[in-house]
Structure 1
Amino acid sequence: MNQDTTYFSLCKNSISGAAVQHRKNHYHFSKHLHTSVEIYLIKSGTCVMTIGNTTIECKPDDFIMIPPNVVHSFYLTDENECSFYHIHFFPEFLSHITLEEDSSVNLMHSLIFCCAPFHQQKTTKELKELILAIIRLYNTSQDSTVSANINVYILQLVLLIMQSYKTLSKAQFPEKIQGNYISFTLNYIEHHYMDKILIPDIAKELNISTRYLSKLFSQYMNISLGNYINVYRINRAIELMDTTTLTFTEISGMIGLKDSQHFSKLFYNIIGTTPSQYKKFILKRK
């Protein structure tokens, strides 16, 4: 019997790192991007993060979550040590979950609508317990049952964060049809970033004006649609730089850019360094 349902295995590992980290002596991690969701819970000391266009000082018990495709940096302003719980997880399984029946907006997109470009709050007992449980399990065993439990904890954590936005004005969130438009656009970019993307083409698919789509996207994503497309492409490029030996010319073609010169210029504008310099940074970090 044929079935169209697509299943996600709950036992698939979603974590790329989970540990307690310690940094000191003016440590600096310059502008970068992830395809993963990054979570910090400050244990002791202080640090500074620039996330998108916002700079924040983080203190003990501050919880920060940074979604994928957001440019950010991390640094210390003095020699004192900062300790923090640190988790990276890939949100693929969240894209297979919706909060409403017959909704086309998946849970990851719902989360982004809530907290783009990042989420910051004082931790709660429930949040801290979930973070500690994820780190403990990840560093204890890698079997499938453990991965399933970790994914359940991540889901609980995401739902807790979204619950905290329930008290805010509905005007801060897209209406259902608007959410569908933005979610469609995010999916379109994900599936077409390697090709030439024209905003009018996306708007035509949705049967709305280019101006209205651009306005909606900027309003609820806190970044212009054109800039988001560029950031998304550079994030894919960084992933390729990290996992392959492809040349910059080959990478530029794979992310929908016409040549390596265009790629280098766009990379510098977003990350603040050249692809060559960033590649050296990746190799040094390994």
Structure 2
Amino acid sequence: MEKEYVNKYYITEVDAVADSIYCHHALLGDSVITEHKHKKGQFLYTEGGVVFLKTSQKSYFLPARHYIWIPPGIKHSIHPSSPNVIMRNLYFPIFETDTDFYDKINIYPVNDLLIELIMFTNRWNGNIFPAEETKYTIAKAFKLVLPELSSSELPLALPYPQHETLKDIVAFLEANISENINFKTLASKFDVSERTLARLFQKELNMSFIQYYTILRMLTALKLLLDDKLSINEVALKVGYSSLPTFSNTFNKIIGVRPSDYVKNKNTLI
């Protein structure tokens, strides 16, 4: 049985020893971990639910069978779908061998080898010191192999707009996610030209309207698929897709697995 988070361990313990690798596997037992940061880089993998991770610039969605890498110094809060989520964390100091892979916050799929490595670390909790040569070498190797095992990052994040009109537009898209809203209609509703709106999305969010809208719909679909009461077809309709094959193909392109496979495996993957 996993222990629960106690005394907000991440504030007091993770950075207490500069060169240690800190390992923590625990049942969250809470609805949120408030904003904080570490001097160490964080590997986060969860089981038993999905997690939103928020920074000052983006909202990230961490689904089943994926992990998120959080570089040192990034302020973030963690919002799980349930207090029963198990969080598996490893916090690493900066090594001279670190590449630019470790400078970016990203979400990556977890393959079978990485699952085995994660579960191997389940025997550890707390600091692993350099003097503990065997344990430290294994834990350090865990970090060093991440770039090799994480070649395909997933675009499971949405940036926050700063422009007031774009904030209203994004809120409208979220509130009307079941409608298939086209770009021309959206521009007309908010009384801006299509050209201006296209520039706003690119400048503010660094992506096109289609990219943003598609990711928003797929992230919403991921959440809905966790509800056993909804069929895949119902989920497709709720995110504005009248064609099930189109929804399935788009989901596969963004998430990396078809919705039918996600539903079939979700109990074993989360």
TM range (shorter): 0.3 to 0.5
